Structure 1
Amino acid sequence: MALYAQTLLVPILSVVSMVLSITPLILHWQNRNWPATCLICWCLGLNLFNVVNALIWPNDDIDSWWSGVGLCDLEVKIMIASYVAVPGNLLCIFRNLASVLDTRRATLVPSKQQRWRNHFIDILFCIVVPVMAMITHIIYQKSRYVLWGISGCVNSFDESWVSFVLSFIWPPIICFIAGYYCGLVLYRLHKYRSQFGSILESANSNLSKSRFLRLFFLSFVMLLAIIPTQIFVIYKNVQYSYPWHRYSWSTAHSPDWGTIPKWRSDGEVFFDRWVPITSGFLFFLFFGCGHDAARIYRTVLRFFGFTCVRGPPLASTVSSGTGSMNSRAKILGRKKRSSDSRTYVNNITSTRVAGTIYEDLEMGASVPRGPKRSAWLRLFKLSSRVRKPPTPDLSTPLNLICTNAWAGTSMSRGSSDFTETPTRRDFIRVKQVISQESEVQL
């Protein structure tokens, strides 16, 4: 029997999509972006199923088909989990992006309770909910699985209200929750558009402006595609299963439950097989063409002996593909020292002023361009150029005034989303310590 065009097209595009997804997967793994990492892993698994199924069941010759025992039992469980896992990963991504822009709950160092809460939500939607979907599948599983040409293993469900409650309704609900967080990110992006870069620098994240926007637009495009798809799927499932019969375990798990139905494809694959293929190309489009990805490509080429590949001229000190900020207390320092000056007037007045200003900016300080010199070396050179002052006449009455002044100020960015934007940049958490000592002899 001749092969259909989609028999060749689906596995080829799936392999290309898998290869293109490797670099974005490495980048998100290095940056500890676990929801995005899980999202790519789910799409990689579904693309792998596309390749395997198209190779095992490439035509409509039902008599020659393998029964798929074992393989399909695993595939249908993973596909059931992916229906809620992909929307759940998008929900976690949007929630994390919204928390980065949340100035109301900004803290210097997140508490242990806050960290555990964030980890709990990520684990809940990325792992726990998909596992629960796999476990509850047995309740409404009408048959072991269904074999379909080219598409391969397909799950089955009982025509009752239980299938609607345990399976059909949850992917759209999770998508709508993800849509809420997506709208929240859009609102805060518009509100803090002039302070966007500074807020990211002070946040406890590995996101630069470019990485933040790329991750947001990737998730935004996927959500726009998944929401209408899920609505269409639930409409078709209800249409095919209605009218619902009364649920019974014995009816759903009849004696012929182990019989495997087989259906011809007529050269058409299930439309949901194209979702992971398209997702892989989107991953590459948003995260496979940047500077971080180019660094990985150069490393791979050098590994295979292409030593002529040149590196970038200058390494960026602002963003790093492998950098990890573990807390908001990880601060870059910038130090400015004022020059010492000494003036002697009429051999009786001596003034010395030394000021030191330390500015610690969270994750946003720039490194001085010039080479650092020792303060002791500068003082030594300065003192060698100044004439030694004459010894004052101790017989003359002497008044001595000594003053020591120290001032400290601490500024933090606003703690409310609904306050007016200040004229000066106090939305960044800045620490200033100004010390000044002056000694005047009269």
Structure 2
Amino acid sequence: MISTDPTWPAFPIVSFIGFVIVLIPMPWHLQAWNSGTCYYMAWTALGCLNAFVNSIVWADNAINVAPIWCDISTRITIGQSVGIPLASLCITRRLYNISRVSNVLTTRAEKWRVIIVDTILCVLLPMICMVFAYIVQGHRFNVFENLGCYPAIYNTLPAYFLVYMWPVVIGLVSSVYCVLSLISLFKRHKQFREFVQSGSALTVNRYYRLMALACIEILFTTPLGIYELYSNGASGALQPWLGWDDTHFNFSLVLEVPAIIWRSNKSLLIPLELGRWVLPLCAFTFFAFFGFAEEARRHYRMVLRFFSARFASLRLFVFKARFPVARSAITKHDLPVHRLPSEDVLPPYVAYPKPPLPTHSYDILNKPSKLAFTDFPHDKSAFALTLSSTPGTPLSPCSSCTLVTAFSDRASFTTLPSAPNSPYSP
């Protein structure tokens, strides 16, 4: 795919990165009930995603290959042109209420009231502007090579009041709120710090960042809106409004414009290129203010620890699967148990026969004379045979023949040291 766009593939990459990074601070702004900021992120992300898809599909052609998508894309384009300034207006309005130190939003009812008002401004009004744009829509849509789908607004006087004037009006209202916020902030600086630090989720640093973002947004919104009014008026003669039927005549027409045509016309080149590059600029500007803050770095560390723990668990799982012997040792937190082969296991315990008692009986009253070796039975062969038939332990170096040799040699037996005398001995 060879694109005629001199910035290819910079714009698809930048727009997709803008779509991702502008949504990163969303969780902690939702936690702080910053509905205006969340709507700003949502509209900016939606605009970047829309521009990314259009720049990929129509990178090298101007053919109407996705008419349903173009119907949706043109509505998104009209909605974002109003939704982003309205979100900025909600931000400056909330900052103005905080700078006056009038009241603290402590109850859920008060917080929900603010969210409902912001939702009406940032969702309902852009949808109304989409309907207004349909009134002055000359045909279905236009397809510009390298840019994709674009609304086809008939250049007539009602179009300036229904479509083009809204960014300028919203930017002026936001400017008024911003100036009033700065004046109130300078007058009540000490009270403001006490108000913000009184348990509110909005910190002082976050307030200043929101104020800086609102000021930058105002500096860009109003001049760009005025330039759009000028470029639309200078691009062609202003057509008279002759009614609904005349405006929507041959409404199914789709105008396909190659890049060599619209890039050669400066009255089209500048506003079209400026309109698509301003979306990633809004995304990167927002991330520059809120993507490196303290709460952002804290969440980055939490995400890093989460994925580090999951990666360590994955490595341990792979290690267990590859080394099953070590797996048992790791799961039991102990050394592997060595088991002897079956032939090395000791046999069960066998009770050996006791030696026969002496034939001479005695009791404690009639003390017998000193026992001699002759009192034992003289049938040594039978006793030796009994011992020899008794199984011995496999690990014993001596088997049954040892006892036979010991009892058959009377001389060696008598040389053994004698036991101490019994107390009953005379």
In the TM superposition, residue 235 of structure 1 has moved relative to its aligned partner by: 1.3
**8 Å Cα contact 1:81/1:134 also seen in 2:** yes
In the TM superposition, residue 293 of structure 1 has moved relative to its aligned partner by: 1.0
Alpha-carbon distance in structure 2 between the residues aligned to 1:214 and 1:47: 22
Alpha-carbon distance in structure 2 between the residues aligned to 1:138 and 1:296: 43
**8 Å Cα contact 2:64/2:256 also seen in 1:** no
In the TM superposition, residue 177 of structure 1 has moved relative to its aligned partner by: 0.6
Alpha-carbon distance in structure 1 between the residues aligned to 2:309 and 2:236: 58
- 1:94-113 to 2 correspondence within 5 Å? 94-103=92-101, 105-106=102-103
Aligned to 1:141: 137
In the TM superposition, residue 131 of structure 1 has moved relative to its aligned partner by: 0.9
Alpha-carbon distance in structure 2 between the residues aligned to 1:240 and 1:219: 31
Instruction: Pick the aligned partner of 1:262 from 227, 233, 256.
Output: 256
Give ranges in structure 2 of 5+ residues lacking alignment: 264-268, 313-426
In the TM superposition, residue 116 of structure 1 has moved relative to its aligned partner by: 6.3
Of the two structures, which has the highest relative contact order with CA contacts closer than 8 Å and spacing of 6 or more? 1
Which whole-Å deviations, capped at 9, do the CAs of 1:124-156 have from their partners, x for residues lacking one? 211110110112222111111000111101101
Alpha-carbon distance in structure 2 between the residues aligned to 1:88 and 1:265: 32
Cα root mean square deviation, aligned: 2.4
Q: Match of 2:294, as an amino acid? A: H
TM-score (norm 1): 0.64
Q: Secondary structure at the match of 2:182?
A: helix
Distance 1:17 1:124, change over 3 A: same
**8 Å Cα contact 1:145/1:153 also seen in 2:** yes
Aligned to 1:330: none
- 1:28-427 to 2 correspondence within 5 Å? 28-59=29-60, 61-62=61-62, 65-103=63-101, 105-106=102-103, 118-202=114-198, 205-254=200-249, 256-266=250-260, 270-305=273-308
Aligned to 1:413: none
Moved more, 90-99 or 263-272: 263-272
TM-score (norm 2): 0.66
Which whole-Å deviations, capped at 9, do the CAs of 1:259-280 have from their partners, x for residues lacking one? 1101122466531111110111
**8 Å Cα contact 1:23/1:296 also seen in 2:** no
**8 Å Cα contact 2:20/2:45 also seen in 1:** no
1:23 corresponds to 2:24: yes
In the TM superposition, residue 223 of structure 1 has moved relative to its aligned partner by: 1.6
**8 Å Cα contact 2:241/2:247 also seen in 1:** no
In the TM superposition, residue 108 of structure 1 has moved relative to its aligned partner by: 8.4
Which whole-Å deviations, capped at 9, do the CAs of 1:73-119 have from their partners, x for residues lacking one? 0011111111111111111111111111224x43686795x666534
Which whole-Å deviations, capped at 9, do the CAs of 1:378-425 have from their partners, x for residues lacking one? xxxxxxxxxxxxxxxxxxxxxxxxxxxxxxxxxxxxxxxxxxxxxxxx
**8 Å Cα contact 1:148/1:263 also seen in 2:** yes
Q: Secondary structure at the match of 1:234?
A: helix
Give ranges in structure 1 of 5+ residues lacking alignment: 310-442
**8 Å Cα contact 1:160/1:245 also seen in 2:** yes
Q: Match of 1:51, as an amino acid? A: F
Alpha-carbon distance in structure 1 between the residues aligned to 2:288 and 2:48: 17
Q: Match of 1:73, as an amino acid? A: D
Moved more, 264-273 or 7-16: 264-273
In the TM superposition, residue 36 of structure 1 has moved relative to its aligned partner by: 0.5
**8 Å Cα contact 1:160/1:241 also seen in 2:** no
Alpha-carbon distance in structure 2 between the residues aligned to 1:143 and 1:163: 14
Q: Match of 2:234, as an amino acid? A: Q
Tell me how many residue pairs correspond in the alignment: 302
Q: Secondary structure at the match of 1:305?
A: helix
Which whole-Å deviations, capped at 9, do the CAs of 1:7-35 have from their partners, x for residues lacking one? 31100111221222232222212222111
Alpha-carbon distance in structure 2 between the residues aligned to 1:31 and 1:106: 16
Structure with the largest fraction of strand: 1
**8 Å Cα contact 2:15/2:280 also seen in 1:** yes
**8 Å Cα contact 1:158/1:252 also seen in 2:** yes
Q: Secondary structure at the match of 1:262?
A: strand
**8 Å Cα contact 1:14/1:51 also seen in 2:** yes
Aligned to 1:354: none
Q: Match of 2:289, as an amino acid? A: F
Distance 1:199 1:20, change over 3 A: same
Alpha-carbon distance in structure 2 between the residues aligned to 1:24 and 1:109: 23
Which whole-Å deviations, capped at 9, do the CAs of 1:327-359 have from their partners, x for residues lacking one? xxxxxxxxxxxxxxxxxxxxxxxxxxxxxxxxx
